[in-house]
Amino acid sequence: MSTQPIAALFDMDGVIVDNHRYHTDSWFQFVGRYGLSLTPEQYASYINGRVAADSLPYVFQRSLTPEELVTYTEEKEEIYREMYRANLQPTPGLISFLEELKHNQVPMAVGTSAPVSNISFTLDGIQVRSYFDTVVDASMITRGKPDPEIYLTAAERLGIPPERCVVFEDAFSGIEAGLRAGMRVVALATTHTREELTNTGASLIIADFREINFKQLIERVIERGRAGVS
Ligand SMILES: O=P(O)(O)OC[C@H]1O[C@@H](O)[C@H](O)[C@@H](O)[C@@H]1O
């Protein structure tokens, strides 16, 4: 087994918490308020996992002022938080997996397109913030997923080269960001089905963190690279 250090980079929404349904429902409620239209297919391709600076102009079909961006982001995310608050919980197996990585001295980061308000809501709400050495959010980057900037920034902050980083993602845009960063990707079939995630370039597809441990991460993702999906 390789002894070189590795890092684990976690997307937040759909990975640390399995909240896709609440984000989808809150987006539909939000666009409804403004008489805008959004299909599930458009959501999957142009909204899911993307920063508000990209997704909001997409739904409004125009560019937004910085003030509009802040106002609309918070409006949409408030709807989401109210919908999800009572159900907020870690993705199955997450805490044991984080504990195991910590025990094996794996540096960990969060790389999320979410605004700061949702990060406190989530990471503090389920009490996992202390596991992460750094959190890179939408306010810290100029180009959102699928651009690799968010994950490259996280890797740089951890001091681990991209080829030794594993990204845990659920969204097409996030998987692409991880691959474009030159990292291995483990896809969680929370938001999309296993079938939809096949051929995305992910090294491994898991339902949730109960399907992976440190040893498997090294053997099936780091050492085997992109050889196959399970
Ligand atoms: O998956 P990530 O990077 O944590 O993305 C967060 C974003 O994910 C999108 O799916 C949501 O619609 C956004 O509202 C949210 O901010």
Measured on CA atoms in the order 55, 23, 121, 129, is the torsion positive or negative?
Answer: negative
- Contact at 8 Å (CB) between 160 and 107? yes
133 counts as catalytic:
no
The Å distance, Cα 117 to ligand 1 centre, comes to 12
Is the pTM value of this prediction over 0.80? yes
Across the range 155-171, mean pLDDT stands at: 97
With a cut of 90, say whether residue 180 has pLDDT above it. Answer: yes
- Contact at 8 Å (CB) between 207 and 230? no
Buried b (16+ CB within 10 A) or exposed e, 118-131: bbebbbebbebeeb
The correct CATH number of 7-19+89-222 out of 3.40.50.261, 3.40.50.300, 3.40.50.150, 3.40.50.1000 is: 3.40.50.1000
Q: What is the ipTM of this complex?
A: 0.91
Residue linked to tokens 């997923």: 145
Strand order in the sheet with 184-188: 134-136, 108-111, 7-10, 165-169, 184-188, 204-206
- Homologous superfamily (CATH) for 20-86: Putative phosphatase; domain 2 (1.10.150.240)
C-alpha distances out from residue 173 to 33, 72, 145, 208, 215, Å: 26, 22, 6, 19, 27
Euclidean distance between CA atoms 48 and 20, whole angstroms: 9
Ligand 1 atom closest to Cα of 111?
3
For position 9, what pLDDT does the model report?
98
- Contacts of residue 137, defined as CB under 8 A and 6 or more positions apart, other chains included, come to 110, 112, 113, 114, 115, 116, 119
pLDDT in tens, 50-89: 999 999 999 999 999 999 999 999 999 999 999 999 999 9
The Å distance, Cα 12 to ligand 1 centre, comes to 8
Show me where the domains of the chain are located.
Answer: 7-19+89-222, 20-86
Among 221, 28, 46, 16, smallest CA distance to 137 is for 16
C-alpha distances out from residue 4 to 43, 60, 107, 161, Å: 39, 47, 12, 11
The Å distance, Cα 73 to ligand 1 centre, comes to 11
Angle (nearest 5°) at CA 111 between 187 and 224: 40
With a cut of 60, say whether residue 201 has pLDDT above it. Answer: yes
Ligand 1 atom closest to Cα of 191?
10
Q: How many CB atoms lie within 10 A of CB 115?
A: 19
Euclidean distance between CA atoms 115 and 51, whole angstroms: 8
Ligand 1 atom closest to Cα of 145?
3
In the chain, count H helices and then E strands. 10, 6
Mutation test of ligand 1: which of 23, 116, 117 has the most ligand atoms closer than 8 Å to its C-beta?
A: 23
The answer to whether domain 7-19+89-222 and domain 20-86 are alike in fold is no
- Contact at 8 Å (CB) between 77 and 117? yes
For position 227, what pLDDT does the model report?
41
